[in-house]
């Protein structure tokens, strides 16, 4: 024992590695050292919800839209599009590596607007991606290989939990800038401005284009304009993550304001889009990744390189969801139905927010709940701390994540009052 | 100019990087230095095929099954399953990270057999993957993070072209072992055994479970058994890639023989499956990745880690195709229909192979074509070399890849005779003119190591597409300039470098000037133009070809490297103009 103690750390490690190899060699037990990974935080919430027997239980962890009956919801426009596609008897051949062309072009037009200079001059290099995650992942891979500046992505604090693993898995470094002000439950504009001023030039900064996840806090239009000019001055590459276009305010053009403002200010930004929420195409995995380029030649070069990155990831994207999305975006009658349905979904969320705030006041709560109606999109940062969230789960069977985030999609006109009452009880 | 020339390469590069940063900062031009990627080789074949106007043209590059009418084919079982799914009015909620449970279990049972110890003891950690590529990629990511041995994957030589990028992209090293014997067009069993014996212990070895792509050459059952015991003795982790189960022989159990044999021999292997070919679900992206574990505890641990790897890749897999596959595998009537359809597809391929071999014999071919029927699966390594393949394309409009690989899926009962005739005719004709290699060997354009001819040693030769003797044998011509081409002239190539290159030409010697800008051996052609413009165009239309210059005397000549000069191939100062200086060049 004393002999090994006097050995240096390196030699001990070497001995251990050798012993592992010989153990390996004899047992065919390749994975004995693979440890159980940490359980998924949000999944844990859903599993606990399923086990709960309380009839009044509410699941507010779910990140998918629910109807007022609390059921998953397939859009009418999606059903119609699927029927049309079935009638066309299409084959199931491989899509091009960059995805269905009609989908990519329509997706870019949706984001930038038909009259944008990006569309008119064809300055977009757009590929179909595997919903938002896949599109972000392609972008991260592209940045890791080709970004000529600092390969560091600055995320808002807080951001979607999967942003950091995506960037790191692709080989990028991750830092953050202030975003959420827990005192006001709103946007920390001054903090954000200060931090952005300090970001080294030629770095990458990521914004949630609308309906920030998890806080629901979005900058106001004039704040977006100011951010755009600061970022321009700091010479940063803008990475826009737009997962809720149409879903936030109910209007696709309003929700794309930030993206279009930055384009107007001549940022050559990169953009990840998702159709999981606004078309309810969650499991079909429909999304797009776009690089806005200087000229047509750059578009061709960038496209060729993106395809080379996609090939070793999954060769080519799934066709089914993209066919549905393309049909909806390109066929006028389906598009109108879709726009109305998106507005309805957003309106239900906004109505639930209003009802919740009202119910909390009715319960006699003295706290300021204005942020519930100020925030936008599917998620709401209630401002509850982990202890209060824990009490909500334990005592009232209201399931949310420990950061106090609730999914408004899980709130219905039936459970609204119960929820308000529960929140009031844990915060009074 | 002379100052920068005396600086070392590193400092020049540093200066360039600095200049890029400041240029960046001022222009918002993030991607100016992103170069055009090399065009996809197989795609190039398909594009040339589309441009061909010959009514008898055949596309044998395609890697997807075609019916005997040459059409894409959706299986009846798939259509029925899709109809049932539509009727169920399912939602479109997210699948679990690991995919649809009913699909994963059914997929594992299909591979290992219902009675396998792996299934009975539930020793499989199976996740749904994005067809074969995605499943391999998950496996590669898992190995890169958790494999306790040498993170090197040994691939058969040759292997599917995308294997190497997948492994490397995940961070694994790639080596190979002998597999294909070009002399016999068969399996190089002794070579494989020798190479596998030399693989360091605790490395990873990948096998194609059946219907090897691209050769179609599979080990025989007794050879698989021997390979299994050698690999066991060498203590290697086995990575099985099964993309053609059922498609190779027509029987799903026979095609899974290798996998099941290795399982019986107690290999804890890892497996990637694809349903693109055997269910025709190509674009729906249905596949599975499995890790065979020691015990249930290991399955849970491994599953938890695989999910953590999937999340930053794409969160969760597409549901539609997996629902179809799960229904087919789990519903007895659909499964029976499917098994019959898979057998029909495989039988059509086997029949085409037999017909092709018979037709070649009927044409009077004396070559041994036994490998056409010995090989199995969609692809067939004909044994033709790049020159012969090129002539098949040029003279007969039969499109295949340069390695002589044909996709039997593109062969029908209608074009079988023409194909056999084409192969035979091409082999019988003597060369009547110098034949340039129609294809290139795989070029990874490495612009940093351009083999510039050393002008201080004029006797040093440059590698060119035609041999020196062939070039000398060409008729002596006066120098050709741009006016000798079509009215529009050759298209302007990509700017290679913004300064001309001085090279001493010898009297009477012919030089092919690279007009496209892509060659590695600037300023002379090495065949890249065929890749850039497409083989077909370069062959048929002189306007895309390198400009041939035969020197009338020995002298120093400034060759245009910017490819924009009016007096190409010679410099006329165009590189100094603004529009050239502003653009990016291939060589810094």
Residue B438 has pLDDT above 50, yes or no: no
Distance CA A128, CA B10 (A): 39
Q: Known catalytic residue: B277?
A: yes
- Residue A3's pLDDT is what? 46
Decide which of B536 and B414 is more confident: B414
Is any Cβ of chain B less than 8 angstroms from the Cβ of A280? yes
CA A261 to chain centre: 20
- Closest of B223, B231, B303 to residue B266, by C-alpha: B231
**Tokens 């070399």 correspond to what residue?**
B385
- Residue B430's pLDDT is what? 53
- Chain A neighbours among B 486-525 (CB < 8 Å)? none
Residues 6+ apart with CB under 8 A from A13: none
With CA atoms as reference, the chain B residue closest to A78 would be B92
Domain limits at B202?
Answer: 76-337
Residues in B touching A74 (Cβ below 8 Å): 89, 91-92
Residue B499 near residue B575, CB atoms below 8 Å: yes
- Per-residue pLDDT tens over the stretch A101-150: 999 999 999 999 999 999 999 999 999 999 999 999 999 999 999 999 99
With CA atoms as reference, the chain A residue closest to B64 would be A93
Two tokens at B238? Answer: 């086995």
Interface contact flag, A25 B308, Cβ < 8 Å: no
Interface contact flag, B137 A314, Cβ < 8 Å: yes
- Per-residue pLDDT tens over the stretch B57-68: 999 987 899 999
Residues 6+ apart with CB under 8 A from B512: B464, B465, B466, B524, B525, B546, B547, B548, B549
* Assigned domain for B399 exists: no
Residue A401 near residue A379, CB atoms below 8 Å: no
Distances (CA, A) of B480 to A220, B129, B512, B513, B542: 66, 56, 11, 11, 12
Domain edge (last residue) among B299, B317, B337 = B337
Query: How many structural domains comprise chain B?
Result: 2
Q: Domain check: are A310 and A349 in the same one?
A: no
Active-site residue (options: B241, B255, B403, B526): B241
Distance CA B346, CA B378 (A): 8
Domain edge (last residue) among A272, A300, A330 = A330
B383: left (phi over 0), alpha (psi -120 to 50) or beta: left
- Residue B376's pLDDT is what? 93
CA end-to-end distance (rounded Å), chain A: 60
Count interface pairs A-B at CB distance under 8 A. Answer: 244
Q: Domain check: are A136 and A278 in the same one?
A: yes
Residue B328 near residue B77, CB atoms below 8 Å: yes
Residue A328 has pLDDT above 90, yes or no: yes
Residue B363 has pLDDT above 60, yes or no: yes
Is any Cβ of chain B less than 8 angstroms from the Cβ of A134? yes
Q: Domain check: are A52 and A167 in the same one?
A: no
- Chain B neighbours among A 322-351 (CB < 8 Å)? none
Shortest Cα–Cα distance, B324 to chain A (Å): 12
**In whole numbers, what is the pLDDT of chain A averaged over residues?**
92
Q: Which of B134, B285, B312 sits opposite A165 (nearest CB)?
A: B312
Q: Known catalytic residue: B361?
A: no
Distance CA B544, CA B538 (A): 5
Is any Cβ of chain B less than 8 angstroms from the Cβ of A17? no
- Give the pLDDT band (50/70/90) at residue B507: confident
Q: Domain check: are A258 and A360 in the same one?
A: no
- Closest of B512, B510, B498, B480 to residue B563, by C-alpha: B498
Shortest Cα–Cα distance, A347 to chain B (Å): 21
Q: Which of A201, A268, A313 sits opposite B25 (nearest CB)?
A: A201
* Assigned domain for B407 exists: no
Shortest Cα–Cα distance, A288 to chain B (Å): 12
* Assigned domain for B553 exists: yes
* Assigned domain for A139 exists: yes
- Give the pLDDT band (50/70/90) at residue B436: very low
Is any Cβ of chain A less than 8 angstroms from the Cβ of B146? yes
Active site residues of A: 160, 241, 277
**In whole numbers, what is the pLDDT of chain B averaged over residues?**
83
Hey, is B69 helix, strand or coil?
Answer: coil
Interface contact flag, B315 A282, Cβ < 8 Å: no
- Residue B564's pLDDT is what? 82
Is any Cβ of chain B less than 8 angstroms from the Cβ of A301? yes
Q: Domain check: are A47 and A112 in the same one?
A: no
Summarize chain B as % helix, strand, coil (round to 5). Answer: 45, 15, 45
**What size, in residues, is chain A?**
428
Q: Which of A36, A147, A235 sits opposite B25 (nearest CB)?
A: A235
Residues in B touching A38 (Cβ below 8 Å): 308
Residues in A touching B39 (Cβ below 8 Å): 304
Residues in A touching B293 (Cβ below 8 Å): 31
* Assigned domain for A81 exists: no
CATH at residue A206: 3.40.640.10
B114 burial class (0-12, 13-18, 19+ CB within 10 angstroms)?
Answer: exposed
- Chain A neighbours among B 196-255 (CB < 8 Å)? 201-202, 235, 237
Residue B54 has pLDDT above 60, yes or no: yes
* Assigned domain for B252 exists: yes
- Chain B neighbours among A 89-118 (CB < 8 Å)? 89, 91-95
* Assigned domain for A31 exists: no
* Assigned domain for B51 exists: no
Report H helices in A147-184: 163-170
Strand ranges for A246-377 from DSSP E:
270-274, 286-292
- Closest of A160, A157, A112 to residue A136, by C-alpha: A160
CA atoms within 13 A on the CB side of B63: 19
With CA atoms as reference, the chain A residue closest to B232 would be A28
Q: Please tell me the least confidently modeled range out of A51-65, B29-43, B201-215, B269-283.
A: B29-43
Q: Domain check: are A382 and A297 in the same one?
A: no
Residue A396 near residue A412, CB atoms below 8 Å: no
Interface contact flag, A298 B31, Cβ < 8 Å: yes
* Assigned domain for B262 exists: yes
Domain edge (last residue) among B286, B318, B337 = B337
Two tokens at B130? Answer: 């994005």
Two tokens at B11? Answer: 């400092």
* Assigned domain for B182 exists: yes
- Residue B18's pLDDT is what? 57
| DSSP secondary structure string for all residues of A203-256 | -EEEEESSS-TTT-----HHHHHHHHHHHHHTT-EEEEEES-TTTTTS-HHHHT
Residue A218 near residue A210, CB atoms below 8 Å: yes
- Per-residue pLDDT tens over the stretch A373-385: 999 999 999 989 9
Distance CA A26, CA A17 (A): 14
Is any Cβ of chain A less than 8 angstroms from the Cβ of B28? yes
Residue B496 near residue B550, CB atoms below 8 Å: no
- Residue B457's pLDDT is what? 36
Q: Domain check: are A113 and A182 in the same one?
A: yes
- Per-residue pLDDT tens over the stretch A274-301: 999 999 999 999 999 999 999 999 999 9
Interface contact flag, A165 B74, Cβ < 8 Å: no
For strand B286-292 and strand A398-399, is the pairing parallel, antiparallel, or unpaired? unpaired
- Give the pLDDT band (50/70/90) at residue B569: confident
CATH at residue B126: 3.40.640.10
Query: How many structural domains comprise chain A?
Result: 2
- Residue B435's pLDDT is what? 34
Is any Cβ of chain B less than 8 angstroms from the Cβ of A277? no
Residues in B touching A34 (Cβ below 8 Å): 146, 298, 301-302, 305
Is any Cβ of chain A less than 8 angstroms from the Cβ of B267? yes
- Residue A347's pLDDT is what? 96
Residue B197 has pLDDT above 60, yes or no: yes
Residue B4 has pLDDT above 50, yes or no: no
- Residue A93's pLDDT is what? 93
Domain edge (last residue) among A276, A304, A330 = A330
**Tokens 């039969």 correspond to what residue?**
B398
- Residue A14's pLDDT is what? 63
- Give the pLDDT band (50/70/90) at residue B523: confident
Q: Which of A32, A284, A291 sits opposite B31 (nearest CB)?
A: A291
Two tokens at B454? Answer: 């050393």
Q: Identify the residue among A83, A88, A278, A283 best suited for mutation to test binding to B, counting B beta carbons within 10 A and taking the highest.
A: A283
| DSSP secondary structure string for all residues of B513-528 | E-SSS--SSTTB--SH
Interface contact flag, B30 A237, Cβ < 8 Å: yes
- Closest of B559, B421, B425, B541 to residue B479, by C-alpha: B559
- Residue A28's pLDDT is what? 77
Q: Please tell me the least confidently modeled range out of B155-164, B215-224, B281-290, B465-474.
A: B465-474
Q: Please tell me the least confidently modeled range out of B253-267, B365-379, B444-458, B525-539.
A: B444-458
Interface contact flag, A149 B95, Cβ < 8 Å: no
Domain edge (last residue) among B337, B367, B384 = B337
Interface contact flag, A268 B28, Cβ < 8 Å: yes
Shortest Cα–Cα distance, A144 to chain B (Å): 12
Q: Which of B25, B148, B311 sits opposite A165 (nearest CB)?
A: B311
Report H helices in B445-504: 468-473
Two tokens at A148? Answer: 């000529």
Q: Which of A71-75, B238-242, B383-387 has the highest mean pLDDT?
A: B238-242
Residue B326 has pLDDT above 50, yes or no: yes
User: In the predicted model, what is the mean pLDDT of residues B60-78?
Assistant: 92
User: In the predicted model, what is the mean pLDDT of residues B335-340?
Assistant: 98
Domain limits at A59?
Answer: 41-73+345-426
- Per-residue pLDDT tens over the stretch A147-173: 999 999 999 999 999 999 999 999 999
- Closest of B90, B89, B107 to residue B98, by C-alpha: B107
Residue A7 has pLDDT above 60, yes or no: no
Q: Domain check: are A150 and A200 in the same one?
A: yes
Q: Domain check: are A324 and A349 in the same one?
A: no
For residue B77, report the phi and psi dihedrals to the nearest 5 degrees: -60, -35
Two tokens at B135? Answer: 């499943």
- Chain B neighbours among A 198-257 (CB < 8 Å)? 201-202, 235, 237
- Which residues are B290's β-sheet partners? B126, B271
- Closest of B208, B216, B209, B248 to residue B380, by C-alpha: B216
- CA-CA-CA-CA torsion sign (B290, B294, B295, B299): negative
Q: Domain check: are A204 and A227 in the same one?
A: yes
**Is the preceding omega at residue B559 within 30 degrees of 0, hence cis?**
no
B185: left (phi over 0), alpha (psi -120 to 50) or beta: left
Domain edge (last residue) among A283, A298, A330 = A330
- Give the pLDDT band (50/70/90) at residue B411: very high
* Assigned domain for B281 exists: yes
What is the pTM for the complete model shown? 0.80
* H or E element, residue B9: helix B9-27
Shortest Cα–Cα distance, A138 to chain B (Å): 9
**Is the preceding omega at residue B173 within 30 degrees of 0, hence cis?**
no
Two tokens at B228? Answer: 């299994």
Q: Identify the residue among A76, A79, A92, A238 best suited for mutation to test binding to B, counting B beta carbons within 10 A and taking the highest.
A: A92
Q: Domain check: are A182 and A323 in the same one?
A: yes
* Assigned domain for A29 exists: no
- Residue A31's pLDDT is what? 92
User: In the predicted model, what is the mean pLDDT of residues A317-341?
Assistant: 97
Q: Which of B21, B28, B300 sits opposite A36 (nearest CB)?
A: B300
Q: Identify the residue among B39, B43, B314, B321 best suited for mutation to test binding to A, counting A beta carbons within 10 A and taking the highest.
A: B314
């Amino acid at each position: 024992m004393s002999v090994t103690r006097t050995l240096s750390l390196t030699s001990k490690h070497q001995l251990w590695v050798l012993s592992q190899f010989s153990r390996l060699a004899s047992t065919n037990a390749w994975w004995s050292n693979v440890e159980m990974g940490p359980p998924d935080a949000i999944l844990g919430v859903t599993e606990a919800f399923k086990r709960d027997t309380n009839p009044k239980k509410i699941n507010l962890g779910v990140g998918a839209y629910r109807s007022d009956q609390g059921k998953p919801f397939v859009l009418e426009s999606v059903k119609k599009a699927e029927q049309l596609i079935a009638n066309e008897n299409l084959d199931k051949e491989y899509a091009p590596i960059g995805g269905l062309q009609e989908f990519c072009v329509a997706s870019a037009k949706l984001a930038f607007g038909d009259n944008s200079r990006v569309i008119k001059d064809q300055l977009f290099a757009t590929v179909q991606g595997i919903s938002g995650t896949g599109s972000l992942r392609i972008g991260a891979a592209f940045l890791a290989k080709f970004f000529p500046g600092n390969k560091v992505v600055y995320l808002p604090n807080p951001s979607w939990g999967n942003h950091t693993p995506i960037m790191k898995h692709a080989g990028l470094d991750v830092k953050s800038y202030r975003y959420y002000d827990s005192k006001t439950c709103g946007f920390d504009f001054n903090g954000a401005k200060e931090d952005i001023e300090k970001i080294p030039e030629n770095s990458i900064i990521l914004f949630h284009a609308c309906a920030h996840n998890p806080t629901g806090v979005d900058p106001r239009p004039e704040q977006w304009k100011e951010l755009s000019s600061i970022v321009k001055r700091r010479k940063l590459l803008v990475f826009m993550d737009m997962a809720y276009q149409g879903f936030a305010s109910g209007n696709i053009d309003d929700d794309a304001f930030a993206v279009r403002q930055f384009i107007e200010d001549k940022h050559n930004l990169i953009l990840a889009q998702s159709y999981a929420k606004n078309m309810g195409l969650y499991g079909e995995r429909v999304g797009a990744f776009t690089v806005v380029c200087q000229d047509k030649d750059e578009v061709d070069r960038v496209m060729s390189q993106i395809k080379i990155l996609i090939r070793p990831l999954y060769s080519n994207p799934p066709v089914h969801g993209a066919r549905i999305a393309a049909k909806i975006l390109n066929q006028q009658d389906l598009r109108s139905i879709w726009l109305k349905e998106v507005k309805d979904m957003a309106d239900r969320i906004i109505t639930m927010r209003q009802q919740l705030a009202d119910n909390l006041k009715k319960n006699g709560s003295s706290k300021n709940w204005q942020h519930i109606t100020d925030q936008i999109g599917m998620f709401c940062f209630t401002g509850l701390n982990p202890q209060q969230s824990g009490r909500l789960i334990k005592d009232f069977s209201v399931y949310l994540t420990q950061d106090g985030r609730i999914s408004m999609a899980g709130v219905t006109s039936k459970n609204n009052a119960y929820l308000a009452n529960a929140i009031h009880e844990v915060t009074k | 100019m002379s100052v920068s020339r005396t600086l070392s390469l590193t400092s020049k590069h540093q200066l360039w990087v600095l200049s890029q940063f400041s240029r960046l900062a001022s222009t918002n031009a993030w991607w100016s230095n992103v170069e055009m990627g090399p065009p996809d080789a197989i795609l190039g074949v398909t594009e040339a095929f589309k441009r061909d106007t010959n009514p008898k043209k055949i596309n044998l590059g395609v890697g997807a099954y075609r019916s005997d009418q040459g059409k894409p084919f959706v299986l009846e079982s798939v259509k029925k399953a899709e109809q049932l799914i539509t009727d169920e009015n399912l939602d479109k909620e997210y699948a679990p990270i690991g995919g649809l449970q009913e699909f994963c279990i059914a997929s594992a049972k299909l591979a290992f057999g219902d009675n396998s110890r792996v299934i009975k003891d539930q020793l499989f950690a199976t996740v749904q993957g994005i067809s074969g590529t995605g499943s391999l990629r998950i496996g590669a990511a898992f190995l890169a993070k958790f494999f306790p041995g040498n993170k090197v994957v040994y691939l058969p030589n040759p292997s599917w072209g995308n294997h190497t990028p997948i492994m490397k992209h995940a961070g694994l090293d790639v080596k190979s072992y002998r597999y294909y014997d070009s002399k016999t067009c068969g399996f190089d069993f002794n070579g494989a055994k020798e190479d596998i014996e030399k693989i360091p212990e605790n490395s990873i070895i990948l096998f194609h479970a059946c219907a090897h792509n691209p050769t179609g050459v599979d080990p025989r059952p007794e050879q698989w058994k021997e390979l299994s015991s050698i690999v066991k003795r060498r203590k290697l982790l086995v990575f099985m890639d099964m993309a053609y189960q059922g498609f190779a022989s027509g029987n799903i159990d026979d095609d899974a023989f290798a996998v099941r044999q290795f399982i019986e021999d107690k290999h804890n292997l890892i497996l990637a499956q694809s349903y693109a070919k055997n269910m025709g679900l190509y674009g729906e992206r249905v596949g599975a990745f499995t890790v065979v574990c020691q015990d249930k505890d290991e399955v849970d641990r491994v599953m938890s880690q695989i999910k953590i790897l999937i999340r930053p890749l794409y969160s969760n897999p597409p549901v539609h195709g997996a629902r179809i596959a799960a229904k087919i595998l789990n519903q007895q009537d659909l499964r029976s229909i499917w098994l019959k359809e898979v057998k029909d597809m495989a039988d059509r391929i086997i029949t085409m192979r037999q017909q092709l071999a018979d037709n070649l014999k009927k044409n009077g071919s004396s070559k041994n074509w036994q490998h056409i029927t010995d090989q199995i699966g969609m692809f067939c390594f004909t044994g033709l070399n790049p020159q012969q393949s090129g002539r098949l394309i040029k003279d007969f409009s039969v499109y295949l890849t340069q390695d002589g690989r044909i996709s039997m899926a593109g062969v029908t009962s209608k074009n079988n005779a023409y194909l056999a005739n084409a192969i035979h005719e091409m082999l019988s004709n003597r060369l009547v003119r110098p034949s340039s290699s129609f294809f290139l060997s795989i070029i990874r354009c490495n612009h940093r190591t351009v083999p510039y001819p050393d002008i201080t040693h004029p006797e040093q030769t440059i590698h060119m597409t035609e041999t020196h003797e062939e070039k000398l044998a060409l008729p002596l011509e006066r120098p050709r300039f741009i006016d000798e081409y079509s009215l529009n002239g050759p298209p302007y190539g990509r700017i290679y470098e913004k300064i001309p290159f001085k090279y001493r030409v010898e009297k009477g010697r012919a030089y092919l000037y690279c007009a496209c800008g892509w060659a590695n051996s600037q300023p002379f052609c090495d065949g890249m133009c065929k890749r850039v413009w497409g083989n077909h165009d370069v062959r048929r239309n002189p306007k895309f070809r390198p400009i041939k210059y035969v020197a009338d005397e020995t002298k120093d000549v400034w060759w245009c490297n910017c490819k924009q000069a009016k007096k190409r191939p010679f410099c006329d100062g165009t590189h100094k103009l603004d529009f050239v200086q502003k653009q990016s060049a291939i060589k810094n």
